[in-house]
Amino acid sequence: MKAIRVHQFGGPEVLKLEEVPDPKPGAGEVLVRVHAAGVNPVDTYIRAGAYARKPVPPYVPGADAAGIVEAVGAGVTTVTPGARVYVIGAADEWKGTYAGLVVCRPEQVFPLPDRISFAQGTALGVPCATAYRALFQRGHGLPAEIVLVHGASGGVGTAAVQLARARGLTVIGTAGSDRGLQLVREQGAHHVFNHRSPGYTDQIMAATGGRGVDLVIEMAAHINLDNDLALLAQHGRVVVVGNRGRIEIDPRRTMGKEAAIIGMTLFAATPADLKSLHAALGESLANGTLTPVVGREFPLADAARAHEAVMEAGAYGKIVLVP
């Protein structure tokens, strides 16, 4: 099969398309033919050698994919060959989804409804699961609350807008381009603002009638965290989803409001959390309230271009690789 391999950490050019032997599923494993693989910002941090968890090269990047079950190993009863599925992670984390085939454990494989394309299916494992965990498992968002999805135009943000709107929250979303603002509006946001416009945080506060927001889902905490604290209502929460550096905050901004800053990472989700959130995503796919947005598709051979694209401003849903 063809796979992207990284032999040394570095820029996008270290992503090399190579011919490697087809993997075989061992006992208790599932072999999935990858029809599309999702590109996440974390894939670029790992590739650069800048992430907390580092593989020993060579490794195959990628955690998200959708495709068809090719074969199952002995003892697998919950997944059958021929099934349309999405996957989150691989049995060996460093033999990932940027490949023609990937070996997974059964609990990493979930049914993909017919109405969701393989490309859309690549958004479920990391972006949609992150959005759900941030909104509900960590942020405890409730119907009638106001949520600010700060960075709503990308993979996580578009999913967060859809999921929050379906749960009955009032949704404020931000993007950095006109196209992104239009996309966020189409996903169901009640109000949209450009996070590159001077004074936009004042406009957000005005949209809440001066009350503030109950919950912030934050994609760029290194830029926004201190302003987020100012935007919170009494007992408000900020969930830090994305962060690329350090920031000074005024802790006093948390005191009178009894506000909370809550970290989140999908890697910290327990098996019970994951089971619960994928059940919720499955229901949202079934009832039509969750439909992942695909912005750009690249051939697998162009993984380097996809890694450049995922870090550019002007996000528009998911970036996908097609083997």
Binding site for ligand NAP (CB under 6 A): 40-42, 126-127, 130, 150-157, 174-177, 180, 195, 219-220, 223-224, 241-242, 264-266, 310, 313-315
Dig out the tokens for 268 from the structure. 């910290």
Q: Indicate the residue among 97 and 130 with the shorter CB distance to ligand NAP.
A: 130
Q: Indicate the residue among 91 and 217 with the shorter CB distance to ligand NAP.
A: 217
Q: Indicate the residue among 23 and 41 with the shorter CB distance to ligand NAP.
A: 41
Q: Indicate the residue among 267 and 287 with the shorter CB distance to ligand NAP.
A: 267
Please give the Cα distance from 41 to 308 (Å, whole number).
10
Q: Indicate the residue among 72 and 223 with the shorter CB distance to ligand NAP.
A: 223
Residue nearest to ligand NAP (CB): 154
Minimum distance from residue 162 beta carbon to ligand NAP (Å) = 13
Contacts of 290 (CB under 8 A, 6+ apart): 128, 159, 162, 163, 166, 281, 284
Contacts of 7 (CB under 8 A, 6+ apart): 14, 16, 57, 58
Amino acid letter, 293 = V
Please give the Cα distance from 162 to 89 (Å, whole number).
24
Q: Helices (H), strands (E): how many in the chain? A: 10, 15
Residue 139 sits at the vertex; the CA angle it makes with 135 and 144, to the nearest 5 degrees, is 70
Q: Indicate the residue among 91 and 220 with the shorter CB distance to ligand NAP.
A: 220
Please give the Cα distance from 185 to 293 (Å, whole number).
13
147 touches 166 (CB < 8 A): no
Minimum distance from residue 248 beta carbon to ligand NAP (Å) = 16
Amino acid letter, 226 = D
Minimum distance from residue 285 beta carbon to ligand NAP (Å) = 19
Q: Which helix (H) or strand (E) holds 85?
A: strand 84-88
Minimum distance from residue 84 beta carbon to ligand NAP (Å) = 23
Minimum distance from residue 157 beta carbon to ligand NAP (Å) = 4
Minimum distance from residue 212 beta carbon to ligand NAP (Å) = 17
Q: Indicate the residue among 80 and 197 with the shorter CB distance to ligand NAP.
A: 197
Minimum distance from residue 264 beta carbon to ligand NAP (Å) = 5
Number of Cβ within 10 Å of residue 298's Cβ equals 18
